[in-house]
């Protein structure tokens, strides 16, 4: 017989404090001799945990549990929304067993709930604490909105952290493609003067094209080039296993809360990113959240373990082939972003170099044609360099006001165009195109404005003013003569003869 601790305490006190014998204790407590002797002899009162006794009483559901378990186990092969609900199990049992199945729905639903929890492991998972060695890093992106020159971007910040010291760095971008990833990492590598020996990533499609068995990863070609150039070991998490790079998960939020709230506004993204790296150097002087040292002190071990920077720089860019449309434009990002080339490349095959912030159009000989700022976002957008279309517009001058290049001219030039007839407008635009090809559009327009200010209305005047302002005047150095050249006497011409012409002219004028 098992007694409550209060009853055991009473027996002990009656015997040891009050001096009663066993028979007297039996009469006083009502317990039998065996029970009293058991607790009088007990010397170990440490807490003993035992599982609660389960009821041995059977359940009306017992005959059907094997069938239910079989159905629920089979659900592992089905996706979430095509698995058995308790209601569906109840219906199937009724159809299968008829009147033999006489269990209440509530009894079944409770069993299904517990069994599903067991099968699908809904219990909180336990993660082993991981040991991080110096020089190892983790990388991930996070969302951060910002404004550059007043334009809003739903941006992304690349984060790189060193779990051993809890030191982290971040760089801001307008997107989350491979070029942004590589550029951000290169910025941080250059700032640190070295490369982490081992870097943990997620399974982004820009890096991983296929996930196979036994942690096999098929990497994209350009990421393999990047990895091999900097010689770091790339490690990829198991899908849906954020715990494997828990340090960077926390660092993504830390950087956003401390450096991007409120959403930053600036004029130049590159300059802003440089300032971020310097700010984060200062952030290291905080105490480590678990170790008895500052992050800066711990980070020295990370720095010593870095791989040296490669001697040759790496260009984080990819080159793709494209075919232009009838307007000499190409599209990327699933047709959402449109970029111009030049009219002569209409309906032809070209190459496009993509960096984190630029789209560089190359002709078939890989010569640069035009460079655009790279567009980002899910909205349809276009970037047209109208200056390259000036030659075509000069052949169709009536279309000038309906093209983007018209807005590039200052108002004085627009007013001047309104005074010209068809042929003169055509000639003026052709001259501007010629001067633009020689130098650039701004210089050509400046010559036009100069001509207008002098009251000129012909293309020759525009060209003369252009040459006067942009021709290089050769300046001779007086010390270029050879050392053995003879000294020549100073030449002093007599120009008094010309004075007679002024005298004659004055006489003629006087006679008039």
Of all residues in the chain, the percent with pLDDT exceeding 90 is: 36
Structure tokens at 405: 């290049």
Q: Dump pLDDT digits (tens) for 400-420.
A: 988 888 888 999 889 988 888
Alpha carbon separation from 89 to 64, 114, 181 (Å, rounded): 11, 14, 49
For residues 136-143, average pLDDT: 92
Q: Dump pLDDT digits (tens) for 53-95.
A: 555 567 889 999 999 999 988 887 765 767 888 988 999 999 9
Describe the crossing of helices 105-119 and 65-74 by its angle, rounded to 10 degrees.
50
CA distance 497 to 411: 54
- Strand 233-236, strand 358-362: pairing: unpaired
Q: Dump pLDDT digits (tens) for 330-385.
A: 999 888 999 999 988 999 999 999 999 999 999 988 999 999 999 998 889 999 88
Q: Is the pLDDT of residue 121 over 70?
A: no
Contacts of 92 (CB under 8 A, 6+ apart): 71
Between 232-241, 383-392, 499-508, the lowest mean confidence (pLDDT) is in: 499-508
251: nearest Cα among 138, 128, 131, 154: 138
For residues 193-202, average pLDDT: 91
The pLDDT value given to residue 354:
93
For residues 306-333, average pLDDT: 92
Residue 170 in contact with residue 140, Cβ under 8 Å? no
- pLDDT category at 126 given cuts 50, 70, 90 is very low
- Displacement of CA 198 from its chain's centroid (Å): 20
The pLDDT value given to residue 215:
57
- To the nearest whole number, what is the mean pLDDT of the chain? 83
Higher pLDDT among residues 474 and 264, named by residue:
264
- pLDDT category at 175 given cuts 50, 70, 90 is very high
Residue with tokens 């109208």: 386
CA distance 287 to 295: 6
Residue 175 in contact with residue 313, Cβ under 8 Å? no
Phi, psi (deg, nearest 5) at residue 307: -75, 150
The pLDDT value given to residue 75:
83
Most confident of 181-195, 229-243, 365-379, 439-453: 181-195
* Collapsed DSSP state (helix, strand, coil) of residue 387: helix
The pLDDT value given to residue 511:
47
For residues 215-243, average pLDDT: 76
- pLDDT category at 510 given cuts 50, 70, 90 is very low
Structure tokens at 164: 């051993």
Residue 131 in contact with residue 163, Cβ under 8 Å? no
Higher pLDDT among residues 237 and 84, named by residue:
84
Q: Dump pLDDT digits (tens) for 254-297.
A: 999 889 988 899 999 999 999 999 999 999 888 887 788 899 99
């Amino acid at each position: 017989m098992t007694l409550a601790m209060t009853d055991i305490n009473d027996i002990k006190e009656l015997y040891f404090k009050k001096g009663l014998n066993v028979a007297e204790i039996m009469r006083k407590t009502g317990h039998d001799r065996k029970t009293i002797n058991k607790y009088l002899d007990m010397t170990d009162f440490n807490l003993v945990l035992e599982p609660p006794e389960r009821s041995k009483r059977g359940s009306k559901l017992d005959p059907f549990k094997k069938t239910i378990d079989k159905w629920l186990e089979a659900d592992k092969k089905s996706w979430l929304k095509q698995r058995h609900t308790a209601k569906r199990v109840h219906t199937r049992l009724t159809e299968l067993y008829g009147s033999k199945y006489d269990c209440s729905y509530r009894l079944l639903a409770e069993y299904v709930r517990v069994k599903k929890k067991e099968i699908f492991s809904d219990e909180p998972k336990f993660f082993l604490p991981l040991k991080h060695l110096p020089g190892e890093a983790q990388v991930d992106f996070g969302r951060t909105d910002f404004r550059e020159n007043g334009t809003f971007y739903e941006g992304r910040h690349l984060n790189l952290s060193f779990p051993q010291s809890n030191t982290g760095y971040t760089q801001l971008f307008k997107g989350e493609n491979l070029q942004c990833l590589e550029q951000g990492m290169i910025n941080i590598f250059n700032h640190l003067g070295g490369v982490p020996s081992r870097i943990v990533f997620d399974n982004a499609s820009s890096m991983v094209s296929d996930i196979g068995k036994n942690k096999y990863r098929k990497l994209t070609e350009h990421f393999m080039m990047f990895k091999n150039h900097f010689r770091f070991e790339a490690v990829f998490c198991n899908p849906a296993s954020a715990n494997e790079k828990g340090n960077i998960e926390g660092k993504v939020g830390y950087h956003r809360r401390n450096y991007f709230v409120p959403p930053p506004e600036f004029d130049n993204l590159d300059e802003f990113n440089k300032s971020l790296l310097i700010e984060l150097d200062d952030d290291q002087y905080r105490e480590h959240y678990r170790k008895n040292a500052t992050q800066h002190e711990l980070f020295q071990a990370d720095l010593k373990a870095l791989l040296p920077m490669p001697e040759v720089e790496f260009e984080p860019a990819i080159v793709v082939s494209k075919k232009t449309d009838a307007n000499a434009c190409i599209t990327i990002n699933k047709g959402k972003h449109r970029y111009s080339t030049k009219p002569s490349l209409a309906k032809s095959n070209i190459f496009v170099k993509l960096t984190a912030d630029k789209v560089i159009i190359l002709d078939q000989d890989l010569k640069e044609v035009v460079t655009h700022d790279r567009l980002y976002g899910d909205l349809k957008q276009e970037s047209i360099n109208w200056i390259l279309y000036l030659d075509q517009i000069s052949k169709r001058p009536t279309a000038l006001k309906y093209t983007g290049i018209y807005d590039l001219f200052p108002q004085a030039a627009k007013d001047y165009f309104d005074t010209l007839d068809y042929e003169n407008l055509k000639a003026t635009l052709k001259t501007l195109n010629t001067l633009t090809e020689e130098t650039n559009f701004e210089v050509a327009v400046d010559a036009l404005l100069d001509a207008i200010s002098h009251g000129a209305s012909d293309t020759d005047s525009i060209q003369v003013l252009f040459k006067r302002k942009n021709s290089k005047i050769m300046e001779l150095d007086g010390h270029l003569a050879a050392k053995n050249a003879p000294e020549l006497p100073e030449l002093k011409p007599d120009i008094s003869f010309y004075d007679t012409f002024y005298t004659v002219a004055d006489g003629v004028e006087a006679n008039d």
